[in-house]
Structure 1
Amino acid sequence: MTLFRTGLSRGLVAGLMVFSSLTPAFAEGGAAAAEVRPVLWVEAKAEHAGLLNFAGTVEPRIKTDLAFRTLGRVTARNVQVGDVVKQGAVLMEIDPLALQLAVRSAQADLNSAQAQLENARITEKRKETLAASNSVSQADLELAQQGLISAQASVDKSQSSLDKAREQLGYALLKADFDGAITSTLGNVGQTVASGQTMLTLARLDQRDAVVDVPEALLPAVRATPEINVELQLDPHVTARGILREVAPEADATTRTHRLKIAIDTAPAAFRLGSVVTVRFSTDDGLEVIMLPTSALLHRDGKDFVWRIDPDGKQVHLTAVKTDPKFANSSHMRILSGVSRGDKIVAAGVDELQDGQNIRLGQERRT
């Protein structure tokens, strides 16, 4: 019995010693496991300046909505969408009967006023002759002179009314204000239209723009590009040089892109309105471009760093990079050196990591 107790005691002591020796190891392993951080990451993808290629359309720089300047019923429409017209060409007509009657009425009023003027002129001359021989008073002469002035004013008023009526008669014809192409039609024969109601849209052909939508992150690179080439998608060999003319100050509420208008006034005639084009923005060096989200950058002592993830995805290392200052206020930064194609970079939480820290790859960020 004593021997059994002695053996049991010795076994218990040995077990306690083994447990106590293993406990620090378990604690150390748990602490090490606690240091592993999941990270959001992004893969550095290098692309050529072709990254700055956008599909767009050719649109007119100037287009005007044409409308009749008087009420009437449409009697003729001489154009269709796509027709090319010359300045002064009659595009649509409305019934001119009411306007013609107004011209006749104004002409009759003018004839009556001219007759009254002639009568007043004769009366004034007669009064002037009689006044010379003291046959009429000076008051009668002045009254005749005033009547002549009044009759002349009536003639002038009637003449203005006739000119106005003739001008309004011209409103029955809707003419092209300049050479261009019809891009839309909104009226048909038999339709009664109001004054100012849009009937046609006329676009100039000599001033054209290539219109594209560009993400906000690429605006700095687009603004700084030294050369813009525009080519037809149907025939890439047909190209034109463009000039950045306008950048929309606000992003589209839905797509969050900015609309750019590139002037292509010297483009060949093949760049018709509505043609689909590819706009290519060439970078200043023509080299490959690596873009990383700004959240991946760590700023220390006036320098920029990123956390590069080991190929096995278990540790991170602090890596110095050179960035393009043109992208200082952008959501993405262009990396000039320090990062290569295919590198995995921590995309968020860069202030909470240490060099050599164990990590676990989390979700990949899509740029």
Structure 2
Amino acid sequence: MNRAPDRHRNTALAALIVAAAALAGCNDRQATPPQPVRPVLSVIAEPRPQQRLSVAGTVQPQIRTDMSFRVLGRVIARDVRVGDLIAKNQLLAAIDPTQLELAVRAARADLVSAQAQLVNAQATETRQRALLESRTATEATFETAEQAREAAQASAARAAASLAKAQEQLGYARILAEFDGVVTAVGAEVGQVASPGMTVVSIARPDLRDAVVDVPDGIGGQLAVGTRFDVVLQVNPALKVRGEVREIAPQADPVTRSLRVKIALRDAPEAFRLGATITATLKARTPPRIELPRSTLVERDGKTLLWVVDPATSTVVLREVWLGERTDQTIVVAGGLEAGARVVTAGVNSLSAGQKVRVEEGPRS
């Protein structure tokens, strides 16, 4: 008799369970939070004039020669010191010439002996020719005399060459200045045994001078032979001369990542002495350029990209650009990016196209 009320109670309970489940599903859907707006650091890409290149360096000679002996010997004289002004063909140093003089004497004696043998051989050949013409000597005897004369002639020529070589080596016992200049270094003292090729005296031409500077690799790559610089003395900035790049090192120093640049000085006064410290400033003014932190760079599929913030929607979009100069810290945008664009500077590898962002100012470009 109680079955009908039980059935009604079960139906009501099932309806309550279904309603609770539906309500729970609605609550779950409503509990899903929207995608958060990501804060990003960014900068405004603004063209700025490049800073004028100004680097320190020293005055060095364009021509410097290391003078050395060509033969082994003991140094018996060194007539110059560092800083001395010298004239062309002035004696700089000498080694003991005794052994070389003896070699010259021996070579001269050998030549005299060879010449005497040649005279004797020539006389013998003349006699044998006369006897052959009078038919009192055989032709074989004459040919022997002729061969002896030719051998003696060759021996005399060899002895003459040996004498010339010995005399030349005797001349190597002294070092003479090859041009007017100044002594910049000495490498041997009196009494020291100098080997061939060992630097004894270094001389330089003081009239041809360079301002030698080291510039960053990125900037040095933009210089060319003939680029003009203003060069001033650090001890007296009022003294200024013009200079032009004469030589640029073919590769950067592996440690400092700088290029050695030699700037030829034009009409430099005497105050620009060798070794003086100078400051060289690039004369040419370069046009403004957009320079950004290297952290903005995204490289995908062989393309160079930047994340640019769309101010209307506050979303990011990838923009392909073309770069000029790049260093370990900065990049120069040569094309593909308009001035005034806002570029993301951090976390560029974790962004996605169309993602909403909140702009936070970073350091200015």
Query: Structure 2 length normalisation: TM-score?
Result: 0.71
Please give the secondary structure, in 2, of the residue aligned with 1:328. Answer: strand
Residue 175 of structure 1 and its aligned partner are, at CA, apart by 2.1
Matching residue of 1:21: none
Residue 228 of structure 1 and its aligned partner are, at CA, apart by 1.8
Residue 186 of structure 1 and its aligned partner are, at CA, apart by 1.3
Query: CA separation in 2, counterparts of 1:45 and 1:225?
Result: 27
AA at the equivalent of 1:149: E
Equivalent pair of 1:74/1:190 in contact (CA under 8 Å): yes
Matching residue of 1:140: 141
Gaps of 5+ in 1: 1-25, 309-315
Asked if residue 100 in structure 1 is aligned to residue 96 in structure 2, the reply is no
AA at the equivalent of 2:346: A
Please give the secondary structure, in 1, of the residue aligned with 2:326. Answer: coil
Matching residue of 1:37: 39
Residue 138 of structure 1 and its aligned partner are, at CA, apart by 2.3
Equivalent pair of 2:45/2:339 in contact (CA under 8 Å): no
Query: CA separation in 1, counterparts of 2:103 and 2:227?
Result: 61
Matching residue of 1:169: 170
Query: Structure 1 length normalisation: TM-score?
Result: 0.71
Equivalent pair of 1:232/1:271 in contact (CA under 8 Å): yes
Distance 1:59 1:290, change over 3 A: farther
Matching residue of 1:128: 129
Residues 25-64 of structure 1: pairs in structure 2 closer than 5 A: 35=37, 37=39, 39=41, 49-50=51-52, 52-64=53-65
Residue 47 of structure 1 and its aligned partner are, at CA, apart by 7.4
Residue 356 of structure 1 and its aligned partner are, at CA, apart by 8.8
Query: CA separation in 2, counterparts of 1:193 and 1:42?
Result: 67
Distance 1:348 1:162, change over 3 A: same
Matching residue of 2:195: 194
Please give the secondary structure, in 2, of the residue aligned with 1:358. Answer: strand
Equivalent pair of 1:221/1:283 in contact (CA under 8 Å): no
Question: CA offsets, 1:73-118, max 9 Å, x none?
Answer: 1111111122232332221111100000000111111111111122
Equivalent pair of 2:43/2:344 in contact (CA under 8 Å): yes
Query: CA separation in 2, counterparts of 1:85 and 1:224?
Result: 32
Distance 1:226 1:187, change over 3 A: closer
AA at the equivalent of 1:117: L
Question: CA offsets, 1:110-145, max 9 Å, x none?
Answer: 111111122222222222233332222222222222
Query: CA separation in 1, counterparts of 2:231 and 2:160?
Result: 57
Residues 238-277 of structure 1: pairs in structure 2 closer than 5 A: 238-264=239-265, 266-277=267-278
Matching residue of 2:81: 80
- Larger helix percent: 1
Residue 317 of structure 1 and its aligned partner are, at CA, apart by 10
Query: CA separation in 1, counterparts of 2:82 and 2:45?
Result: 49
Matching residue of 1:348: 346
Distance 1:141 1:216, change over 3 A: closer
AA at the equivalent of 2:242: R
34-43 or 80-89, larger mean C-alpha shift = 34-43
Equivalent pair of 2:69/2:198 in contact (CA under 8 Å): yes
Matching residue of 2:326: 330
Matching residue of 1:10: none
Equivalent pair of 2:297/2:305 in contact (CA under 8 Å): no
Query: CA separation in 2, counterparts of 1:349 and 1:237?
Result: 49
Please give the secondary structure, in 2, of the residue aligned with 1:218. Answer: helix
Equivalent pair of 1:42/1:346 in contact (CA under 8 Å): no
Question: CA offsets, 1:20-77, max 9 Å, x none?
Answer: xxxxxx998xx89x64536487999977743x11111122233232221111111111
Distance 1:70 1:79, change over 3 A: same
Equivalent pair of 2:75/2:95 in contact (CA under 8 Å): yes
Query: CA separation in 1, counterparts of 2:44 and 2:225?
Result: 26
Matching residue of 1:22: none
Equivalent pair of 1:228/1:241 in contact (CA under 8 Å): yes
Query: CA separation in 2, counterparts of 1:224 and 1:200?
Result: 31
Query: CA separation in 2, counterparts of 1:162 and 1:35?
Result: 96
Gaps of 5+ in 2: 1-30
Distance 1:261 1:347, change over 3 A: farther
Matching residue of 1:15: none
Equivalent pair of 2:325/2:332 in contact (CA under 8 Å): no
Identity value in percent: 39
Give the RMSD, CA atoms, in angstroms: 4.3
Equivalent pair of 1:42/1:347 in contact (CA under 8 Å): no
Matching residue of 2:4: none
AA at the equivalent of 2:164: D
Distance 1:56 1:227, change over 3 A: same
Distance 1:200 1:306, change over 3 A: farther
AA at the equivalent of 2:161: S
Query: CA separation in 1, counterparts of 2:117 and 2:225?
Result: 75
Matching residue of 1:114: 115
Distance 1:126 1:221, change over 3 A: closer
Select the structure of larger CA radius of gyration: 2
